[in-house]
Amino acid sequence: MFSNRSNIVVLIWAWATVTGLSQPSPFVTQTSGNLELNGHPFYFVGGNAYYLMEEAARGDTTLVKNLFATARQLGMTVIRTWGFFDSGDTLNPAVIQWRPGGFNEAALRALDYVIWQAKQSGLRLVIPLVNNWDDYGGMNQDVRWRMAQGDHNRSASEVRFTESDQQRTVLGLGGRLYRVAMSDMFGHDDFYTDVTIRNWYKSYVSVILGRVNTLTGVVYRNEPTILAWELANEPRSSDRSGVIVSGWADDVSLFLKQLDTNHLVGTGEEGFDNSVTGYSIPAYNNQLWLVDGTAGVSFTMNLALRHIDLAGIHMYPQSWGLNNNGGNIWIRDHVRMAATAGKPLVLGEFGVLVDQPATYDSWLTTVLLDGGGGALVWQLSEGARGNNDGYGIRCPGSGSVCTVLQDQARMFTEKSAGSPLSAPPEFLLFQNYPNPFNGQTTIAYALPSDANVTLSLYNSVGELVRVLVDGFQHAGTRKELLSVEWLSSGVYFYQANVQLSEGRGSSGTKKLVIVK
């Protein structure tokens, strides 16, 4: 009898192997451009809380626990948080690496705690492994360590950077910055190109991925709570071709994948490019620096890298010189490019300083309907961590924006559970809200099927003022944004012309009033 049972087990195992059946993976994976978990689609709304390891290292584990509890109450399933802190300050308990290869066990135990508490809370983590900006050490800290070695085989007479270069900084959101050059011989981009620095980075990655969590007993590379590693937070360079960053990302992503076959890998970039191909340039308000190589990174090139699983972007239209609906265009352009490459698009950071509720509702609707994998708001505040850059959200204190995030998180979760996004029965153009208004309004319309849509604004004498939407959109109730700081008070009309996928055409016109 025992022998017969053994034979049956062997036969079942053999049949499962031949037919390709296996146990669902506990890790988030990606297949054909879609995120999956346990064999089912996985879509998410979450938030950024970069400071969690630092707070845990300083003893405030209650803040970490409360932040995760708030995220769960909002229906969020993913948090993005730093997995780095490089500094020579050996007295700072939150510094992870105080010299190349020199690690602070207390800080690593704090990271252990963050991962353990996320696991207890049913959350998953996206963890960047180095900062482009000078905060928390950043890439320039490695360059300074390299400068101090004195064995870099560079002649004292070799001048690569002028005095002007050494005074120049690259600015980012909320005071983020990095110096272009630290001396006449060493600059920020040496982080990508110097062999010694690259080996230091790989050694750091090896230590982090190979660490055994002191609270769970699980090696980081085997921990399903970690959704993805990001090679860096917002990598940039002075190389307008994008080749330096792309070459670095290609090499280190291969190295990481050789160590860890379980987790997804992203670059952590913002979505900037060095080519206008694929982008809706007329909608970008003449901000060509977004796609002309100014940022020294190429989304298109990085998207093609074999060992990069996630197409990641960040988005701060108001800080980039765009109106808020430019954010919807930024999302759609990158979702389309990512889908062509067969990779899921994740909006790793997004934020505005004003009109947060309506703007986040619009952007998250676009991510949801157009097939993005997920979105992470910048940033969630908790405890003593206040609104340090104007983008902070503290729930429930932030009111209606918390409600928007909660409602959107629910819809993303329902989509993950297989609930189809219900298409409206017919085309409808809704009245904009608020109306009358001054500043920004939302224009919503219902598409019963996929369609080519043109949404235009006209003045009271019928002259075209602006085209808000001109392209393909998936079915659902869309929410586009109209910012009118540049328009005078008066009566205007918006018109939607829709060519539905089954060939039918529909249109509608509504009046709006601007009062200043």
pLDDT of residue 422: 78
Residue 367 has pLDDT above 50, yes or no: yes
- Nearest CA to 260 out of 233, 227, 303 is that of 227
Residue 21 has pLDDT above 90, yes or no: no
Whole-number average pLDDT of the chain: 93
Last residue of a domain, which of 354, 382, 416?
Answer: 416
Residue 229 has pLDDT above 90, yes or no: yes
**45 lies in some domain:** yes
Summarised one tens digit per residue, pLDDT across range 262-281 is 999 999 999 999 999 999 99
Measure the CA–CA gap between 172 and 152, rounded to whole angstroms: 30
- Nearest CA to 406 out of 451, 448, 360 is that of 360
The separation between the first and the last C-alpha atoms of the chain, rounded to the nearest angstrom, is 87
Total structural domains in the chain?
Answer: 2
Question: Are both 283 and 200 inside the same structural domain?
Answer: yes
Question: Are both 452 and 402 inside the same structural domain?
Answer: no
Residue 14 has pLDDT above 90, yes or no: no
Measure the CA–CA gap between 237 and 243, rounded to whole angstroms: 10
Residue 420 has pLDDT above 50, yes or no: yes
Last residue of a domain, which of 364, 388, 416?
Answer: 416
Measure the CA–CA gap between 307 and 234, rounded to whole angstroms: 18
Confidence of residue 25 (pLDDT cuts 50, 70, 90): confident
pLDDT of residue 386: 82
Question: Are both 361 and 495 inside the same structural domain?
Answer: no
Question: Are both 409 and 438 inside the same structural domain?
Answer: no
**113 lies in some domain:** yes
Residue 336 has pLDDT above 70, yes or no: yes
Measure the CA–CA gap between 136 and 98, rounded to whole angstroms: 11
Phi, psi of 398 (to 5 degrees): -85, 5
Q: Where are the beta strands (DSSP E) in 366-489?
A: 374-377, 428-429, 440-447, 451-458, 464-473, 476-483
Query: Which CATH number goes with the domain that contains 457?
Result: 2.60.40.1220
**155 lies in some domain:** no
Summarised one tens digit per residue, pLDDT across range 189-208 is 999 999 999 999 999 999 99
Measure the CA–CA gap between 299 and 302, rounded to whole angstroms: 5
Question: Are both 396 and 443 inside the same structural domain?
Answer: no
Tell me whether residue 357 is exposed, middle or buried, using C-beta atoms within 10 angstroms of its C-beta: 0 to 12, 13 to 18, 19 or more.
middle
Question: Are both 407 and 440 inside the same structural domain?
Answer: no
Summarised one tens digit per residue, pLDDT across range 120-178 is 999 999 999 999 999 999 999 999 999 999 777 766 666 789 999 999 999 998 889 99
pLDDT of residue 375: 98
| Domain residue limits at 458 | 428-514
Query: Which CATH number goes with the domain that contains 376?
Result: 3.20.20.80
- Name the DSSP class of 131: B
Phi, psi of 200 (to 5 degrees): -60, -45
Residue 66 has pLDDT above 60, yes or no: yes
pLDDT of residue 126: 98
Measure the CA–CA gap between 103 and 100, rounded to whole angstroms: 8
Measure the CA–CA gap between 264 and 344, rounded to whole angstroms: 11
pLDDT of residue 17: 41
Measure the CA–CA gap between 55 and 384, rounded to whole angstroms: 10
Last residue of a domain, which of 416, 440, 462?
Answer: 416
Question: Are both 412 and 382 inside the same structural domain?
Answer: yes
